[in-house]
Chain A
Amino acid sequence: MLTLKVNGRSHQVDVEPDTPLLWVLRDTLGFTGTKYGCGISVCGACTVHMNGAPIRACVTPVSSAAGQTITTIEGLQGKVGHAVQTAWEKLDVVQCGYCQSGQIMGAVALLSQTPKPTDSDIDAAMAGNLCRCATYQRIRAAIHEASKQLA
């Protein structure tokens, strides 16, 4: 039995310790906003925060997440999270939407570290988040927009 702290609540989970955090979040706890895209940390759809830093839940064994503070899209709160989601909505970034939870978690982590990112900061931070609909231009604009709102 492991204790997971997700979105401000503690959960006891009875799973194999090598189970990726992604599947515990989705299948055991029902936080399905975090998506499965590749399972090998090359697409970013499963990005969540562990102690505020972005991680790929698909390759993070649940045992290593035990006791840490995990935040998923469902639990995103605070000034930066709000600014990012507001900018995403204002610019109508989404298309199919499947990657967007991961994109937003990535953007929030970036802006928390770097409140005024340049285009190359954005490229560096977001290049691991794939979007097959190629909403990249709007993601970039929305990150700048959120940065402006936070200033």
Chain B
Amino acid sequence: METIRIENESRRQFLKASAGLTLAVYLPLGLAATDKSAAAKTVLEPNAFVRIGADNTVTVVVKHLEMGQGTYTGLPTLLAEELDAAWSQIHVEAAPADGKRYNNLLMGPMQLTGGSTAMANSFEQMRRAGATARAMLVAAAAQRWKVAPESITIREGVVMHAASHRKASFGQLTEAAAALPVPAAGSIKLKDPKDFVYIGKQAPRKDSKPKINGSAIYTQDIRLPGMLVALVAHPPRFGAKVKSFDASRAKAVKGVTDVVEIPSGVAVLAGDFWSAKKGRDALSVVWDESAAMKLGSTELEAQYRALLEQPGAVARQDGDAANALKSASKRISADFHFPYLAHATMEPMNCVVQLSADGCEIWNGEQSQTMDQNAVAAVLGMKPEQVKINMLYAGGSFGRRASTTADYIVEAVHIAKAIKGRAPVKLVWTREDDMRAGYYRPMFLHRVSAGLDAQGKLVAWQQRLVGQSIAAGTALEGFVVKNGVDNTSVEGASNLPYAVANITVDLHSPKSGVPVLWWRSVGSSHTAFSTETIIDELAQAAGRDPVEFRRDLLAKHPRHLGVLELAAQKAGWGKPLAPAPAGEAKERRGRGIAVHESFHTFVAQVAEVTVKADGSYSVDRVVCAVDCGIAVNPDVIRAQMEGGIGFGLTAAMHGAITLKDGMVEQSSYIDYPLLRMDEMPKIEVHIVASSEKPTGVGEPGTPVIAPAVANALFAATGQRLRKLPLRVAPGAGPA
């Protein structure tokens, strides 16, 4: 088969070009045709990020995964800004896997979407790419019209020479522009921010239309000629292996073509999902559990509790926290428990693989190209560049698809290898597979002890964290783990912003067989909770208002202060909350605040809650303030704060993956419920005006909501909640 490039948005064209029942079968050919015609029209291609066609389309190549966070809108906004293109002429294309051209500039040679870095690392790169193309179009027009380049302007894709009333579209100039040398980087000037027409304004999402008419292509939707669908029977316990299996009943299922053993289990292949599922249900496997993890959450927690009593690897040490704590006038000490959490993306993990004599082609909601190329190449004995990856829309990720082991991708490759590349293979995990096969946000225990002096000033802070390291033992270890401290375990705690002369933060990273991974906001998903609820307790102990108390301790952190003040002001902090509706006398209401920096973005949230006598509660309203530097796409920022809060609320109110005898107890959205429509609070988002370089917004909205809600629940009930998800004991409390 000839090499092709999948373009998510090209499905419509292919639908037009293909007919009725056969459409799915012809997917690759349809796309190949689209791609060829696009190539034929391509004229000006000054760099790896933009192509301008004679048909006046501007194709922006995006190196990052669109998983909902808006990067297919944000990165083209930057390029369109400096190119002065019309928004409607911008088309988005997924970049291929190529760490040389498309590496994440904040991650060295790696091409990876993560850590809320897409905007931050692309801000200059995409603007320069657009400005370079613009300079070539201007030079071409100047030559054609025999005028000075400085006298030419561009507005919404129209190149103009005002004095002579001449105009040209990009398409009319691309051929001439392409014949010119690409200008030297040093000669490219970027716009003064006051001249921005898209940045900070409204640029509608580029992925909206295909996602509302069903034409957006996700991995789940890929169909190749002769493709087989594979389901895998995974061991019930992590670390177990196949001992033996009986495929006879599975093979008797109509449509099942193959049953093959792979390192992670036994795969059943069929021409369609349902036949493969029936085949897998009929399979019987005997597992070798000699190396399996057989502990439950309770046993793990007991191990972790013992570690809380022992000093760990030091992540931060200023002054002498132990002595300062001893001489403090008031002391607070609390233990926190954070469960394992599943990413639970709406699209369960899946991957399409096609092997050929000289390479391997993958279709995936691809988040970590270079690591995945390496992992796949190792399985196949190939070079990484022989692994071609088509990056598709991802039906959510939240960290899951940036797997440190390329787990599900490697699994799909093993299946394709086991059938000797006879057919393309689509590995599909069912919801239950996805919930039970890992990977999870690691379970963590924290202990925080803090002290105030006689004047109510914070003088001591000790924090100990116990939880598995995500990076240890992976290719990222050298990048992330320093002196025995995985920074992703302690981020948000080790950089506590509050002024305190004596602080120690230390860490235990016990090993267990449970696979763990980044989960939206990573370390901050737990550290924001312990730090922000303890600060609330300290404010109470000092007899101070929670906002005032924080304000005094944040004097050297103006951006924390900025969001704190903005959220408090917009929420009407200090004014009485509206009481519970009449006739609901036993309902108690409360308001709480939290502020946290993650991924260089600053967020404060005020949550309002209502608690019923039985302990059930609702989060009614959230006021969110965010400072992410220059707000490139304000509406995408608002959407990410809304979504980040909703994601954080699922963890605050519902989320827990638990183990019993080494087996994950949850299986689907029934026992791992997600936030539903009727639980979504009204959210207001306020963006701090800033001229700082832009930072990410995909993650930083998430960690702040749980502590804001816990502090609000305290205000309503007097109960300090330190175990997630947050459960309020029934009964009385302050009105």
Name which of B206-214, B537-545, B546-554, B570-578 contacts chain A.
B206-214
Which residue of A20, A30, A36 contacts B220 across the interface (Cβ within 8 Å)? A36
Q: Is the CB of A132 within 8 A of B208?
A: no
Contacts of B254 in A (CB 8 A): 16
Q: Considering the complex, which residues of chain A in the window 93-130 have a beta carbon less than 8 Å from any beta carbon of chain B?
A: 93-101, 104, 122-124, 126-127, 129-130
Query: Given the complex of chains A and B, what is the CA–CA distance between A7 and B394 in angstroms?
Result: 26
| A94-B215 contact in complex given A9-B20, A123-B678, A134-B680, C-beta closer than 8 Å | no
Query: Given the complex of chains A and B, what is the CA–CA distance between A91 and B156 in angstroms?
Result: 23
> Size band of the B side of the interface?
35 or more
| A96-B642 contact in complex given A30-B21, A137-B682, C-beta closer than 8 Å | no
Q: Is the CB of B639 within 8 A of A42?
A: no
Q: Is the CB of A92 within 8 A of B204?
A: yes
Q: Is the CB of A132 within 8 A of B272?
A: no
Q: Is the CB of A11 within 8 A of B395?
A: no
Q: Considering the complex, which residues of chain B in the window 199-252 have a beta carbon less than 8 Å from any beta carbon of chain A?
A: 204-205, 207-218, 220-221, 223, 229
Q: Is the CB of B274 within 8 A of A129?
A: no
Q: Which residue of A lies closest to B346 (CB)?
A: A98
Q: Considering the complex, which residues of chain A in the window 18-63 have a beta carbon less than 8 Å from any beta carbon of chain B?
A: 19-20, 23, 26-40, 42-43, 45
Chain B, 246-276, contact with A by CB distance < 8 Å: what is the 0/1 string?
0000000010000000000000000111100
Contacts of A5 in B (CB 8 A): none
Contacts of B221 in A (CB 8 A): 26, 32
Query: Given the complex of chains A and B, what is the CA–CA distance between A32 and B227 in angstroms?
Result: 15
Chain A, 53-97, contact with B by CB distance < 8 Å: what is the 0/1 string?
000000000000000000011101000000001001100111111
How many Å from the CB of B379 to the closest CB on chain A?
27
Query: Given the complex of chains A and B, what is the CA–CA distance between A137 and B643 in angstroms?
Result: 9
Contacts of A140 in B (CB 8 A): 677, 680
How many Å from the CB of A72 to the closest CB on chain B?
7
Contacts of B617 in A (CB 8 A): none
Contacts of A139 in B (CB 8 A): 677
How many Å from the CB of A14 to the closest CB on chain B?
11
Q: Considering the complex, which residues of chain B in the window 9-35 have a beta carbon less than 8 Å from any beta carbon of chain A?
A: 20-25
How many Å from the CB of A142 to the closest CB on chain B?
10
How many Å from the CB of B711 to the closest CB on chain A?
21
Query: Given the complex of chains A and B, what is the CA–CA distance between A134 and B396 in angstroms?
Result: 11
Contacts of A101 in B (CB 8 A): 212, 214
Which residue of B69, B216, B271, B676 contacts A130 across the interface (Cβ within 8 Å)? B676
Q: Is the CB of A35 within 8 A of B646?
A: no
How many Å from the CB of B281 to the closest CB on chain A?
12
Chain B, 619-663, contact with A by CB distance < 8 Å: what is the 0/1 string?
000000000000000011001001101110110000000000000
Q: Which residue of A lies closest to B644 (CB)?
A: A134
Query: Given the complex of chains A and B, what is the CA–CA distance between A140 and B217 in angstroms?
Result: 25
B121 touches A (CB below 8 Å) = no
Q: Is the CB of B273 within 8 A of A42?
A: no
Q: Is the CB of A133 within 8 A of B208?
A: no
> Size band of the A side of the interface?
35 or more
Query: Given the complex of chains A and B, what is the CA–CA distance between A47 and B216 in angstroms?
Result: 17
B496 touches A (CB below 8 Å) = no
How many Å from the CB of B675 to the closest CB on chain A?
6
Q: Which residue of A lies closest to B18 (CB)?
A: A30
Contacts of B393 in A (CB 8 A): 96-97
Contacts of A20 in B (CB 8 A): 274
Q: Is the CB of A92 within 8 A of B208?
A: yes
Q: Is the CB of B274 within 8 A of A27?
A: yes
Q: Is the CB of B680 within 8 A of A130?
A: no
Q: Is the CB of B668 within 8 A of A40?
A: yes
Which residue of A11, A33, A74, A100 contacts B21 across the interface (Cβ within 8 Å)? A11
Query: Given the complex of chains A and B, what is the CA–CA distance between A89 and B649 in angstroms?
Result: 26
How many Å from the CB of B76 to the closest CB on chain A?
14
Q: Is the CB of B211 within 8 A of A97?
A: yes
Contacts of B212 in A (CB 8 A): 85, 88-89, 93-94, 97, 100-101, 104
Query: Given the complex of chains A and B, what is the CA–CA distance between A88 and B214 in angstroms?
Result: 13
Contacts of A42 in B (CB 8 A): 668-670
Which residue of B23, B67, B635, B646 contacts A136 across the interface (Cβ within 8 Å)? B646
Chain B, 395-423, contact with A by CB distance < 8 Å: what is the 0/1 string?
11110000000000000000000000000
Q: Is the CB of B346 within 8 A of A126?
A: no
Chain B, 673-716, contact with A by CB distance < 8 Å: what is the 0/1 string?
01111101011000000000000000000000000000000000
Q: Which residue of B lies closest to A58 (CB)?
A: B431
CB-based A-B contact count at 8 angstroms: 185
How many Å from the CB of A29 to the closest CB on chain B?
7
Q: Is the CB of A45 within 8 A of B639?
A: no
The interface centre, meaning the residue of A26, A96, A138 with most chain B CB atoms within 10 A of its CB, is A96
| A73-B214 contact in complex given A95-B70, A137-B680, A139-B677, C-beta closer than 8 Å | yes
Contacts of B347 in A (CB 8 A): 35, 37, 96, 98
| A33-B214 contact in complex given A20-B274, A95-B68, C-beta closer than 8 Å | yes
Q: Is the CB of A94 within 8 A of B207?
A: yes
How many Å from the CB of B97 to the closest CB on chain A?
21
B377 touches A (CB below 8 Å) = no
Q: Is the CB of B215 within 8 A of A33?
A: yes
B317 touches A (CB below 8 Å) = no
Query: Given the complex of chains A and B, what is the CA–CA distance between A123 and B272 in angstroms?
Result: 35
Contacts of B208 in A (CB 8 A): 88-89, 92-94
B344 touches A (CB below 8 Å) = yes
B345 touches A (CB below 8 Å) = yes
Query: Given the complex of chains A and B, what is the CA–CA distance between A144 and B22 in angstroms?
Result: 38
The interface centre, meaning the residue of B20, B254, B642, B682 with most chain A CB atoms within 10 A of its CB, is B642
Query: Given the complex of chains A and B, what is the CA–CA distance between A42 and B435 in angstroms?
Result: 14
Contacts of B209 in A (CB 8 A): 89
Q: Which residue of A lies closest to B204 (CB)?
A: A92
Query: Given the complex of chains A and B, what is the CA–CA distance between A23 and B255 in angstroms?
Result: 14
What 5 pairs between A and B have smallest CB-CB spacing? Answer: A33-B214, A134-B646, A98-B395, A97-B211, A30-B24
24 contacts between A and B (CB under 8 A): A27-B223, A30-B24, A35-B346, A37-B346, A38-B669, A39-B430, A43-B431, A43-B669, A72-B214, A92-B639, A93-B212, A94-B205, A95-B69, A95-B643, A97-B207, A127-B676, A129-B677, A130-B669, A132-B398, A135-B642, A136-B676, A137-B682, A138-B639, A138-B642
Interface residues of B (CB under 8 A from A): 20-25, 67-70, 204-205, 207-218, 220-221, 223, 229, 254, 271-274, 344-348, 393-398, 428, 430-431, 635-636, 639, 642-643, 645-647, 649-650, 668-670, 674-678, 680, 682-683
Contacts A20-B274, A23-B272, A134-B643 supplied; 9 other A-B pairs, CB < 8 Å: A27-B273, A35-B346, A37-B347, A39-B430, A89-B209, A131-B346, A134-B642, A135-B642, A139-B677
